[in-house]
Structure formats: C-alpha cells, structure tokens
Structure 1
Amino acid sequence: MITTLAVENYRSLRRLIVPLDRLNVVTGANGTGKSSLYRALRLLADAARGGAVAALAREGGLPSVLWAGEEKPARGAGRADPTGLRLGFAGTDFGYAVDFGHPIPDRSLFDLDPEIKRECTWTGPVLRPAALLCDRSGPAVRTRTADGGWHRSVNGIRPYDSMLSELADPQLAPDLLRLRELIRSWRFYDHVRTDAHAPARTARIGTRTPVLSHDGGDLAAALETIREIGDRDALNRAVDAAFPGSRVQVESHDGRFELKLHQHGLVRPLSAGELSDGTLRYLLWAAALLTPRPPELLVLNEPEASLHPDLLPPLADLILTAAKDTQIVVVTHAPVLAEELARHAVRHRLDVNSIALVKDAGGQTTVAGREGLLDEPLWYWPKR
C-alpha cells in the first residue's frame, strides 16, 4: 500500500507531499490542483509502462507542465528546482522517485521531450542510502546484489526510457520487476462515457471480463463476470440500493452480450441504449468497483459526474466495499460524496483520509490545515 505521495513542480503542485491510507478522498474548489494530483498519479503509472515521457510531451513538454509561479518559496517550503519535475511514492514495501529535466539542446525536433535525470527505488517508506535497491543517474544504473554489493549496467539507458521498463530483469533486479508489476496493476477511471454513442450502450462479443475497460464498452461482460465468479450478492445489493426493486440481466445473442435492467413497474426491461446517463454511469462504477480482480491501487476521478444526489449514498457504499480489498483514491468535486463516504465508513469499519486542497496567495497548491513541514510525511528526493 502507498503511504506517501510526493510531487514537485507539476503545474500548481510546487511541493506537495501527502500521506495516503486505505481510502483517500481528495476535495477542493475548482483550480486548486485536484486534476493535477490525479494526473501526477497517472504519470507515475506511465513510468512503469515506459510512457511517462510521451505523456509529458503530449502536454506540451516540460515548459507547459512545470511550476510557473514565483521563484521565492513559501515560508517553510524549501527551495524547489523550477527546471525539473519530480514524482515519487513510498509504501510499506517499496519507494520510487523519478526526476524529469530538460534535454541538452542538440537541434533535434524532439527537444520538447523531457529526459529522466535521476531515478531510484528503495525498500521501506523513506529513501536512505542503505535502503537503495536501484539507482539510475543519467544513463548509468546500478542495482543492489544479494550480497549487498552493486551491479552496474554495461549498456546505458536512453534518456527517455525508464529503468522500470528497461531493466526489470528477474535475475539482476527482481525487486525492480516486482515494483514494475505493482505499479502496472494500478487502475484509473476518468470520465467514462455515457453519451448516446457510448461504447457501453452497444451489444458486443462477450468474454470473461474481470476488469472493466476504460471506455466501459465491455460493461455487460464485466457485470456477468461478477455474477458468475465475483460477488453476485454485492452486485444485487448495489443495484437494489440505487434503484429499489431493480435487477440487472445479461443476455447473449450469438455471443454478443447485451445489458438489460429490470425495473419495478415496467413490463419490459430497458436496454443499455435506453438508460439515462446517470443510471448507466452508476452501473459502470458498480462493474469497476466490484471487480473480481482488485488492483493494488484504484483511482477514481469525479465519479459523481452525471449522478443524481440520491445515487451518492449507494456509490459511497460501493467505494467502501471495494476499499476492503484495494487502496482507493477518490478525486471529487462533490462535498456530499465526501460526507457520505465519511458517514458510511463507520459501518464499514474504515477510516477516510481526507485531503482538502487549497491554493495559497502565491498560487501554490497546499493541503488545508497544514502549517509547515512538520505536518507532512518524511520525504527525501534523490539528488541529481
């Protein structure tokens, strides 16, 4: 489980170090940095897939994403390097940090592509020299051996590649391989489509689907998978809590799966194409949260979108049910959802880690109620 998330110089996140728990709820007004926090987590996941540099380039390169506020740091915040973007996390087993910087100009058309200047993994919650497992500086990488020594890579890593994707050798770096697979298990859901042409509204060839796709096109197959190998009772309770007297059914026609919703008082079930945006979105969240294959980390961005306020209590119950098997981060604009999560958490015997983001006078995102460095988790960045 991740216990600390650290971001430096990403948009309004000049220096943000936050503790994470089993269930985390990120709130704040528009423009306070919630989306930036969500994107920072996605960039960390992209690093394990070798796609972080490309993702930054799509945002316009480092000049477009770096902190652009005043250089004088807020009192007690310490000096931040405005030329580098740093991302990292630490947990009960591993920690990881990556430092992106500007490339050396060489008249290349790819000069907007950032380079990885430093990259480290370690064991435990805090970076210490004795805890280092893999250490990358520029193109050179060294990995800790079983006898406590170091193995240095013969071939250097290209500046736009992560050691997570290039050096995950089960013989030379088994811990790096474990960390890569852990990060690759992270799951993100952001603005799942429910419009008239949404993939979830059409019948599709169905196969066993323990993980709902990001576009929701395999919704019917995902729900049927939950019914057959997952928690069928939890799915039935979630549907009945949101739509009393209703139940879902999946029909197969020549292998094409079609979702039907039976509702009290209607003489025939409604197909996915007939459902309202809110009803369809709730069923998508049910499929995502009741997955028979829980990830290490599940991140939901604005799950309350298009939902009637009456659906927020059952959505909170769904999220809390999922939090028993996986770590969850919910980024929300809805104070009501945050309140429902806190209220229902007592019954689920879970604590809610509330992270309320605000902006200070200089435009820097901070956590509400935090006075200084002593109020945040201990964190050290690897030096270039």
Structure 2
Amino acid sequence: MLTTLAVENYRSLRRMVMPLRGLNVVTGANGTGKSSLYRALRLLADASRNGAVAALAREGGLQSTLWAGPEHVRKDRPVQGTVRTKAVGLRMGFAGDDYGYLMDLGLPIPNGSVFDLDPEIKREALWAGPFLRPAALLVERVNREVRIRSGSGEWQRGGHQLQTFDSMLSEFADPERAPELLTVRDRLRSWRFYDHFRTDADAPARRVQIGTRTPVMAPDGSDVAAALQTIKEIGAKGALNDAVALAFPGSHVEIVNTAGRFEIAFRQHGLLRPLSGAELSDGTLRYLLWVAALLTPRPPELLVLNEPETSLHPDLLPALANLVVIAAKEAQVIVVTHSRPFVASLEALTDDLHTIELVKDHGATTIAGQGPLDEPPWKWPTR
C-alpha cells in the first residue's frame, strides 16, 4: 500500500506531499488541482511502460505542464517573475512501507536536434522503506547511468547506459542483482484507472461484443458484458445481483450469449422484456460499468477513480459508495471527486475513509489544514 505521494512542479502542484491510506477521497472545488493529481498518478504508472515522456507530449510537452507560477512565492508581495536559480524539473514519486520510487524530468542541453524540447529523465531512485535516505537506496539512475547496490553494500554499474527518454523501470532488468526493481515495475503496471465512461449512442459499452472470460474490464468498458458474466461465475457469490438490486430494486442483469457474442439484458420490475445495452439510459449503463469495474475478481494493488459520480442520479450515490467500499477491502483506492453528497455517502458506510481536501493558495494546490510539520517525510535527491 502506498503511504506517500509526492509531486513537484506539475501544473498547479508546485509542491505536494500527500499521505495515503487504504481508502482515500480527494475532493475540492473546481480548479483546485484534482485533475492534475489524477494525471500525475497516471504519469507514474506510464513510467513503468516507458510512456511518461509520450504522455507529457500528449499534454503539450514538459513546458506546458510545468508549474506556471514564480519559482519563489512571497505571500507578502504581489506575484511577479524572478530570475530562475534552479534547473527546470518535474518530480514525481511515491513510497510505501517496503519500497519507494521517484523520477525527476528536466529539459536537455540544446544540441541542435529537432527533439531539443523533449524532456529527459535526469534522475530515478528506488529505495527500501518509507522514506529516502542514502543507506536505503537500492537502485539509482543519474542521467544515463544506472548503478545497483550489492548485498555487501557496494555500488555496481548496471552494465549499459539508458537513453535519456527511457525509464530504468521499463528498460533495465536484472532479476539477480535488482529484483526489487522488477517488483516495483510490476506493481505500477497493475495500477488501474477508470475515468469518464462513455454512454452515448455509439459508446463501446452499448455494442454486442465477442465474449471471453474478462476478470478486468477494459478502460473504455467495451467488454462490460463479458466482465459482468465473469463476475457472476468467479466473483464473490451474489455480489452482482446485490449491487444491481441495491441501485434498482426488483431488477437484475442477465448476459445473453448468441454464438459467442455477449449482450446485456437488464430485467426491470414491471417490464415484459429485458432492455438491451443499446436501450439502457445513460445513468443505468454508467452504473453497470462501475459495477463491472469495482467488483473485479482480479483486484489491482491501486485503483484510481476519477469523478465516478458523473451523470449519476443522487439516488444512486449510496449504491456507488457501497461498491467503492467493497473494492477497498481488496485494493487500495483513491477516488477523485467534487461531489459532497458522494463523500457523505462514503462517510456513512465506513469509518476508515481518508478525506483529502485540495485548496488553492497563490495559484498553487495545497492540502487544506496541512502544515509543513504535518507532511510525511520526503526528500528529493540532487541531480
């Protein structure tokens, strides 16, 4: 389980060190940085597949995603530009009870290449324990060079140099000397993100699809029928029927199999025939998508949900909150939401909810009520 998430200089996240628990809700008004936090988590996950640089490019490049305010903020003076004293850097990292990892991205030294605006990975570090200290370092990367700490405590060269745009998580593998690196990489790759399911007339979730066993629903929900049938067969007994009945009393879901093609059949009290996926209302289909995502028979280490309450009627929020609480029994969960009724529904179901409210202070995202002494221990290494 992650205990700390740290981000520096990413959009409005000028400097944030956030404590995490099993079930976390990140809330706040529009524009306080919730989406930036969600994207930062996705960037960390992308690093495990060597996709962090490409993900930044899709957002407009490193310069478009960097903190846009001054390097030093003086609250007793008007905001004004200053001469930069430190190198440009976007830093992201996390820590748990067993391992921690961080990445520091910066700009290259111009050399006339057309790729001079591509970010470079300047520093990566993997350590044992909840916070970084020299004695806890296991593997580190400085510019292109990787080195590994041996069992005797001596540092050894990794054996080859990385490209400036390649992460050691994805491009360096040494199961004998650095098995911890492979462990952390696999963990990051298991992180699961769900964000704004489509429910329009042409949405993938409304189409009839070839069905195979699907313990993990696709991010776009295109295999929702197969995912629901998989939950029926190998998931928690009765969980699917209970989730549907809680939201829509007297209703249940069946999956119609026609020559291997799966389709949702939603049986509702008072109707003579079931409704197909193409006929369902946007809210009903969206709820069934969340059922398929949260009752997964193969839970991830970390499940991140971005505004799951979107387009749902307030009457469905308690049922959705119940799904989130069930999911948190098997996985660490981070929910990003601005809906106070949804947060209240979660609070009514569990005493273990960790609520993090984001606010803006001079343009920078901060955690409400968190002072410097309230932060988890965290230190960024020098380049």
* Other-structure match for 1:160: 165
TM-score, normalised via structure 1 length: 0.96
**Residue type of the partner of 2:271?**
L
String of CA shifts for 1:281-333, please: whole Å, max 9, x gaps: 10000000000000000000010011000000000000000000000000002
The amino acid that maps onto 1:377 is P
Q: Cα distance, 1:207 vs. partner?
A: 0.3
Q: Which residue of 1 aligns with 2:197?
A: 192
1:358 aligned residue: 359
Per-residue deviation at 1:146? 2.5
What residue number does 2:107 align with? 102
- Show CA shifts across 1:25-61 (max 9, x none): 0001111000000000000000011000111112121
Aligned to 1:383: 382
In the alignment, structure 2 segments of 5+ residues that lack a partner are 76-83
Report the alpha carbon displacement of residue 81 of structure 1 after superposing the two structures with TM: 4.7
Q: Are residues 74 and 235 of structure 1, via their aligned partners in 2, closer, same or farther at CA, if it must alter by over 3 Å? A: farther
Measure, in 2, the Cα distance between the counterparts of 1:81 and 1:339: 43
Give 2:330's aligned residue: 325
Tell me, what secondary structure is at the counterpart of 2:69? coil
Q: CA 1:5–1:25 in 2, change beyond 3 Å: closer, same or farther?
A: same
Which deviations, in whole Å up to 9, do the C-alpha atoms of 1:93-136 show, x marking residues without a partner?
11001000001112222222100000000011100111111010
Q: Report the RMSD for the aligned CA atoms in angstroms.
A: 1.3
Q: Secondary structure at the match of 1:37?
A: helix
Counterpart of 1:251 in structure 2 is: 256
Is it true that 1:178 corresponds to 2:183 in the alignment?
yes
CA shift, 1:73, in A, is 3.2
Match of residue 341 from structure 1: 346
State the Cα deviation string for residues 316-366 of structure 1 (Å, max 9, x = none).
Answer: 0000000000000000021111111111114xxxx1111100001x10100
- Please state whether the residue corresponding to 2:238 is helix, strand or coil: helix
1:85 aligns with 2:90: yes
* Of 228, 238, 241, the match for 1:223: 228
Shift of 1:157: 0.7
SS in 2 for 1:103: coil
Are 2:277 and 1:272 equivalent residues in the alignment?
yes
TM-score by structure 2 length?
0.96
Partner residue, 1:201: 206
Greater than 4 Å deviation, 4+ residue runs: 79-82
Counterpart position of 2:79:
none
Residue in 2 aligned with 1:374?
373
Residue from 109, 112, 131 that aligns with 1:126: 131
Q: Is the 8 A contact 1:88 1:96 kept in 2?
A: yes
Structure 1's unaligned 5+ residue stretches are none
Of the structure 1 ranges 42-51 and 229-238, higher mean CA displacement relative to structure 2 is found in: 229-238
- Give 1:169 shift: 2.1
Q: Which secondary structure does the structure 1 equivalent of 2:175 belong to?
A: coil
Secondary structure of the structure 1 residue equivalent to 2:321 = helix
**2: CA distance, partners of 1:158 / 1:218:** 37
For residues 366 and 37 of structure 1, what CA distance do their matches in structure 2 show?
11
CA contact (8 A) 1:8 1:87 kept: yes
- Cα–Cα, structure 1 residues 311 and 150, in superposed 2: closer, same or farther, change >3 Å? same
Name the stretch that deviates more: 264-273 or 145-154.
Answer: 145-154
The answer on whether the counterparts of 1:28 and 1:358 sit within 8 Å (CA) in structure 2 is yes
Q: What amino acid maps onto 1:354 in structure 2?
A: T
State the AA in 1 paired with 2:20: L
The answer to whether the 8 Å contact 1:9/1:82 transfers is no
Within 1, Cα distance between the matches of 2:22 and 2:185? 21
Judging changes above 3 Å, is the alpha-carbon distance between structure 1 residues 88 and 111 closer, same or farther for their aligned structure 2 residues?
Answer: same
Task: Give the residue type in structure 1 aligned to 2:287.
Answer: Y
Task: State whether residues 167 and 173 of structure 1, in contact with CA within 8 Å, keep that contact through their aligned partners in structure 2.
Answer: no
SS in 2 for 1:232: coil
Q: Which amino acid aligns with 2:349?
A: H
Percent identity between the aligned chains? 66
Distance 1:332 1:140 in 2: 40
Aligned to 1:286: 291
In 2, the alpha carbon distance for the partners of 1:185 and 1:81 equals 35
Shift of 1:74: 5.8
User: 1:45/1:81 Cα in 2 relative to 1: closer, same or farther (>3 Å)?
Assistant: farther
